[in-house]
Chain A
Amino acid sequence: MLIRKPSDIPSSEITSESSYKDFLSRRRFLRTAVSGAAVAGGAIVGADRIADLLSPRTSALADAAKLETVKSPLSTTGEQLTSLEDITHYNNYYEFGVQKTDPAKNAGVLPTRPWTVKVDGLVKQPKTFDIEALLKLRPLEDRVYRHRCVEAWSMVIPWIGYSLSELIKQCDPLPSAKYVQFLSYYDKKVEKWTDESSIFWPYSEGLRMDEAMHPLTLLTFGLYGQVLPNQDGAPVRIVVPWKYGFKSAKSIVTVRFVEKMPETTWYQQNPREYGFYSNVNPSHDHPRWSQKTERRIGLPFYAQRRTTLMFNGYAEQVASLYNGMNLDKYY
């Protein structure tokens, strides 16, 4: 490559000294700004991580109100309970952040009193139940249930509540009601983390009437002998143990009886991955991973893996609900 000789270059093309100095100082500024921003960004992220490591676990659990309970024959036996620590610090509650550890950190702002549950839709008379009235409706039972997340991890949780069917009896649904829809608490001003995911709020779930009326479906008020911690869906939620965990809607504010299958949040997100029924089914794979096995939470990494059971081990009690139904088609 022949570089032009100095005499070939007209003096008009020579960069003036002042322009060159400007150019250099602009470059220096840009470099300083970029590296400064990088350092600042790194410092902020680092500080946040260190703050996480140093912050004490929430002590609110120790002060939680105790609940009086009775034993229930519907409680699952033969399973080792997951620790309270894990149940309250490993949560999917996206309104409070998408990391598993976020709800424990952020759900403190959830206002659980006053709280009412509105009952409307295809009922004889719309009603509003105060949470205190719901707590006294029936004796609270100890129900240990397996809990299987669609993400292929599972827990064993000692819930407290009574069958949802008891509440439904009080609601007087019309014969035209074929499904029940559940709407969760949603307030953008309180739940400031809702933009971390692209979900449409409020969280919506639903069950077929016979599923909602099944004795195992639990209207849940507590766990481990105390009221539900906020991050676990306080003050009232449902638990449907034979379905993937996202069906067990948290912090319920509305129970609506409807004729058509209600639109549920995760189905809206991705109908191919999250069907309406979402029964735990090891032979129906999630499009992105196998559902044949699960990881039991709280065990060492070499001992977590176990086989997933059909209907999460509740086949004896619920299989009859789906007689003749193609569970590969209706997932």
Chain B
Amino acid sequence: MSRKTLITLKTLTWIACLGPFALLVYQAVTNSLGPDPTSNIALTTGYNALLMLILSLAVTPLRLLSPRLSWLIKFRRLLGLFAFFYATIHLTTYLVLYLNFDWTVFKTDITKRRFIIAGFAAYTLLVPLAATSTTWAIRKLGGKSWNRLHKLVYVAAICGIIHYWWQVKPGVLSPMNLTVVLFVLLLARPVLAWVHARRARPAAYSRAS
């Protein structure tokens, strides 16, 4: 891939990732966030955080499917950090607009409301991942430790989707789409690894009793 193509693709990705945020700002300024602006901001930022995290999880399976897609790795950090960006706005919305910094309600929420506990868990797991996303950090930690730490992204994504399911009214199935995609992507890794292993040593497998 030429440097020019990469820069173009990265610019487009930045624009696509900032799109929802830009739209939210525009709507807030023009007071066109709909009838329930607070809930709209919370749902939009939450959904986008989860979406971008799940997109970042699609990078590795796609690269495993075809070596021609190995350049996708250059986009994984970008997607992950945008997920953290939206998750931070989502958390801020909760603290400011929902709680209005009422720490007594916060204490009850963080101890008794399971969907908030799940959400907080997901966010807390993303913090060290965002903090160690720099090239400096990868070098400092060393590839092996860094990779081990960043396996936490799976837990964060699962906490995030559980947070979504536990938030909606019982009977509502809106989180289903993201759940299916996440499930496929999480399953893709062991499946594709198995396919690769099989391809590398077909003789060994065919001789297995």
**Are A197 and B172 in contact, CB atoms less than 8 angstroms apart?**
yes
CA distance A153 to B206 in the complex (A): 63
Q: Is the CB of A118 closer than 8 A to any CB of chain B?
A: no
**Are B37 and A273 in contact, CB atoms less than 8 angstroms apart?**
no
Known: A31-B66, A301-B28, A301-B33. A153 touches B39 (CB 8 A): yes
Q: Quick one: closest B residue to A301, CB to CB?
A: B37
Q: Quick one: closest B residue to A155, CB to CB?
A: B35
Which stretch in A156-164, A176-184, A221-229, A290-298 binds the other chain?
A: A290-298
| Total interface residues in chain A, CB < 8 Å | 34
Residues of B within 8 A of A198 (CB): 170-171, 173
Q: Quick one: closest A residue to B171, CB to CB?
A: A197
Residues of A within 8 A of B97 (CB): 301-302, 304-305
Q: Is the CB of A316 closer than 8 A to any CB of chain B?
A: no
Residue positions of B touching A, CB distance < 8 A = 28, 31, 33-39, 41, 65-66, 97-98, 100, 105, 108-109, 112-115, 166-167, 169-174, 202-203
Known: A290-B105, A290-B108, A292-B105. A301 touches B169 (CB 8 A): no
Known: A197-B172, A270-B170. A153 touches B36 (CB 8 A): yes
CA distance A288 to B112 in the complex (A): 8
Residues of B within 8 A of A199 (CB): 171
Residues of A within 8 A of B66 (CB): 27, 31
B41, B115, B170: the one within 8 Å of A269 (CB): B170
Which residues of chain A from 78 to 101 have any CB-CB distance to chain B below 8 Å in the complex?
A: 86, 89-90, 94, 98-100
**Are A13 and B203 in contact, CB atoms less than 8 angstroms apart?**
yes
Q: Is the CB of A151 closer than 8 A to any CB of chain B?
A: yes
Taking A269-B171, A288-B166, A299-B37 as known contacts, 6 extra A-B pairs with beta carbons closer than 8 A to each other, sorted by chain A number, are A98-B173, A197-B172, A287-B113, A288-B167, A292-B105, A302-B97
CA distance A300 to B35 in the complex (A): 9
Residues of B within 8 A of A197 (CB): 171-173
**Are A304 and B38 in contact, CB atoms less than 8 angstroms apart?**
yes
Known: A198-B171, A290-B109, A301-B28. A31 touches B65 (CB 8 A): yes
Interface string of A182-209 (1 = CB under 8 A from B): 0000000000000011110000000000
Interface hub of B33, B34, B38, B65 (most chain A Cβ within 10 A): B38
A-B contact pairs, 8 of them (CB 8 A): A86-B35, A197-B172, A288-B114, A290-B108, A299-B37, A300-B31, A300-B37, A301-B28
Q: Is the CB of A132 closer than 8 A to any CB of chain B?
A: no
Known: A198-B173, A270-B170, A273-B170. A288 touches B115 (CB 8 A): yes
CA distance A31 to B68 in the complex (A): 11
Q: Is the CB of A210 closer than 8 A to any CB of chain B?
A: no
Q: Quick one: closest A residue to B206, CB to CB?
A: A13
